[in-house]
Amino acid sequence: MFRATAFALAALIAPGLAAAQAPERPSGFNYGLAFVANNSPYADGGWEFTGLPILNYIGENWSIGLLDGLRYGIVNGEDFKLDLVIAPRVYQVIVDSAGDPLEGVDRGPSGEAGIAAEYQITDLTQFRLRAVQEVTGVNGGQEVVLELRQMVFAGYLPVYLGAGATWQSADLSQYAWGVYPDEATSTRPAYAPGNVWIPNLAIGTFIPLNEKTSVIGALRVDFLPDAIVDSPVVGQDRTTSLFLGVTRSF
């Protein structure tokens, strides 16, 4: 069946996670535990719940982690930052399982490389861009993520609101949402969504418990376009992902 892994669920939330954290994260090792939930948009559907570790290291001009992969800063200005990114792509993994509605459809993780940019419009408003190319020969697709984030305060609680959209090339969208000709059956025709845009909304927060320990929460909803909803392997028009974690630095 189509099955999101633990990393899969977190990866959907990860683009919104950093904005929920403190503006300046100290260098060093960070670890923690997260609870993640996701309602699968695929035909076998249903909510999935799991826990996973949070592990990352932040250096002077680079970082590496389970969610973000490897990032290296090439521009680090006051209002504009630009990073090189190498990261695994582990969400939208498909596991072939006999007896499921999607039997015979199989996908695996891949790797991607590209850039991630941040522009600070005001102290509380930020624009983000992430553009990557699949580099492991799995699907050859490209993805561009655009997002506008606004920080507000509910009393002393910092809350970020995000609105954005993800563009996926035809190669990537067929891998993620489509059916290849050799996977077609009498009840599951071949299908290619083509280039697609997927809008999303997100909300998150960061709650420091003390100097080293924090609670991070985020909620994200992706609204699938008709080109994806019309696929025979897709069962609904949106997907909701929830992330709740505790992190500690030293």
- The residues spanned by each domain of the chain are 6-40+57-202+220-249
pTM for the model stands at 0.87
β-strand 238-249 against 28-39: which pairing, if any?
antiparallel
pLDDT at 203: 93
pLDDT digits (tens, 9 = 90+) for 76-128: 999 999 999 999 887 655 555 545 677 788 777 889 999 999 999 999 999 99
pLDDT tens, residue by residue, 195-220: 999 999 999 998 889 888 999 999 99
Token pair, residue 68, equals 């973000």
Has residue 18 got a pLDDT over 50? no
Cα torsion 139, 167, 25, 65 to 10°: value is -10
Q: How does the average pLDDT of the chain come out, rounded? A: 84
Place of tokens 């969610």: 67
